[in-house]
Amino acid sequence: MALRSLAYATTGDFQDTRGALDAAGRLEALLERWLSLQRIAGYRLVTGLIEEDYDDYGLNRELIESVTGGALPFIALSVTFERESPDLESGLPPGLAAVLREHNFREMEAPE
């Protein structure tokens, strides 16, 4: 089974820390359901609330800030899925594209 991982970040339109935590909680519940249904192979979801979270969670600050512009709070998401799954929609697990759009996630790409 060949896996593919993609990384995203968003500052959403969170008004405050509580808004970011609420959004992350809803996302985690959905991702856990997808994991149990084997729609995805794994994920990592981190809510960055303060500057220290980059180090505390071992996050690539440069990569995340390329999407967030350094704004806090943010949500960073990495999703791993089967590359050759017959259920993919535009190369992503079913429903993922809609979730990414809903929360204004942008793909993080490593600098060349």
Q: How far apart are CA 58 and CA 36, in angstroms?
A: 26
Give the total number of structural domains in the chain: 1
Distance CA 89, CA 84 (A): 11
Q: How many CB atoms lie within 10 A of CB 72?
A: 15
Q: What digits encode the pLDDT tens for the residues 6-34?
A: 999 999 888 899 999 999 999 999 999 99
**pTM for the model:** 0.89
Report yes or no on 20 lying in a domain.
yes
Distances (CA, A) of 110 to 16, 24, 77: 28, 23, 15
Structure tokens at 29: 């519940």
Whether residue 86 is contained in a domain is answered as yes
- Report the number of secondary-structure helices (H) and strands (E) in the chain: 4, 4
Could you list the residue range(s) of the whole structural domain that residue 87 is in? 3-107
pLDDT tens, residue by residue, 57-100? 999 999 999 999 999 999 999 999 988 776 677 778 888 888 89
